[in-house]
Structures are given as structure tokens and as C-alpha cells.
């Protein structure tokens, strides 16, 4: 099943306003479940936890949850919520599908996407690539071999004395890593939504 992150305002001027935001997110999370996807609702995950940890803990934590999802569903009111705007920016950076709540269109676009066969998400490709990079680094550290970059790809200095099994594992990991990098190249500096220069050029 696909996992959809429900994004929307959380904070409010009073505890009751916060509660209303949480209930709103809960309602839409249920609708996502009814459409056939797993709804991840961060509002309920840290409900009534305010003041127990620094704000950075909640912000970093919810972004980490977002990175493990297949798409983001944005509720109305996001233009007044800095936290939700940050989640949208992170989703754009990761290449996740973004769906905005639309009273007129309902859930047609989101429902259609959920019904489509699940493919590999950018997050899944990045996780698999991280595993390959870690394997290459571990294979090098086993004998103290230096790990260096060749055409942007972590690689190992040739070492004929490596055990045959490690050579095979190394070759397999490197081949797989190259394929993953072709499938999802690293974004350039200007691809990041938070680039101040890009924001300035877009606004001009």
C-alpha cells in the first residue's frame, strides 16, 4: 500500500484551536484510508506534546516521517502555516507527488494516484543507494582501502588481494549504485526549493 503524509496547520492561538487543527487532519487522514492508502497523520503523533521537547525535535521528526512516505496531501490553510510550507518544500525537493485539498474536485486526483500500481519512489531509491554506498565503504574499511569518488560514484582503489567473495560483492554493489544514480541523479544546488537565489529569480 502507498503511504500518504497528511500535511496541514497544527499550531493555534489557543489549545482549542490546536485541537481543531488536529481533528481536521484526523478527518482527512480517515478519508485517505478510505481511498485505499495508509495515512500518516503527524498531528496525532505528537498531540499534546508541546513543551516536552524543543521545537526543532518536532520539525525534524515530522520531516523524517515525510521522507518515508510516497506522497503528501496538503490541507487548506497551508499558506498561513510555515511548518506546512516547509513540508511542501521538502516534498518538492524529494520529488514526491503533492496533492492539495480541493473542495470542488474532491479527492479525484489523489484517488486516481492511489489506484495506480505502486512504483519505486525517490525516497526508496535514495535509501537503496545509501545501502550500496555503505557497502562499498565497508568493503574498503575491511582492509583499510581508501574510498574515493570516480565520476561522482563512490569507488574503491583496485586491490588484487581482496578476497574473491568481497570482489564479487564490491562489483555487484558498484554496478547497482551506478544504476541507482542513473535512475535518480543527485539534485543540483539550484534544484533545492530552499535556494535563496532561485527564490529571488522566480519572484523577479
Q: What is the mean pLDDT of the chain?
A: 78
pLDDT score of 198? 44
Q: How far apart are the first and last CA of the chain?
A: 42
For residue range 61-116, what is the model confidence (pLDDT) as tens digits? 999 999 999 999 999 989 888 989 999 999 999 999 999 987 767 688 999 999 99
Quick one: which of 31, 46, 194, 45 has its CA closest to 99?
Answer: 31
Calculate what percentage of the chain has a pLDDT beyond 90: 39
Q: E strands within the chain? A: 3-7, 38-40, 71-74, 98-100, 147-150, 153-156
One-character DSSP codes across 21-32: HHHHHHHHHHHH
Identify the structural domains of the chain with CATH numbers, from first to last: 3-115 (3.40.50.10400), 122-183 (no CATH)
User: Which grid coordinates belong to 50?
Assistant: 508541546
Amino acid at each position: 500500500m502507498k503511504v500518504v503524509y497528511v500535511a496541514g496547520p497544527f499550531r493555534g492561538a489557543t489549545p482549542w484551536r490546536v485541537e481543531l487543527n488536529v481533528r481536521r487532519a484526523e478527518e482527512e487522514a480517515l478519508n485517505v484510508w478510505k481511498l485505499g492508502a495508509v495515512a500518516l497523520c503527524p498531528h496525532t503523533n505528537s498531540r499534546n506534546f508541546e513543551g516536552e521537547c524543543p521545537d526543532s525535535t518536532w520539525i525534524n521528526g515530522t520531516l523524517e516521517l515525510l521522507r518515508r512516505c510516497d506522497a503528501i496531501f496538503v490541507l487548506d490553510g497551508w499558506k498561513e502555516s510555515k511548518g506546512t510550507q516547509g513540508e511542501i518544500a521538502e516534498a518538492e525537493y524529494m520529488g514526491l507527488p503533492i496533492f492539495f485539498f480541493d473542495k470542488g474536485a474532491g479527492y479525484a486526483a489523489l484517488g486516481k494516484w492511489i489506484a495506480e500500481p505502486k512504483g519505486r519512489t525517490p525516497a526508496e531509491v535514495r535509501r537503496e543507494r545509501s545501502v550500496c554506498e555503505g557497502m562499498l565503504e565497508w568493503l574498503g574499511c575491511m582492509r583499510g582501502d581508501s574510498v574515493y569518488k570516480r565520476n561522482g560514484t563512490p569507488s574503491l582503489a583496485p586491490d588484487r588481494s581482496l578476497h574473491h567473495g568481497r570482489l564479487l560483492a564490491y562489483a555487484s554493489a558498484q554496478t547497482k549504485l551506478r544504476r541507482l544514480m542513473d535512475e535518480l541523479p543527485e539534485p543540483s544546488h539550484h534544484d533545492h526549493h530552499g535556494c535563496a537565489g532561485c527564490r529571488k529569480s522566480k519572484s523577479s
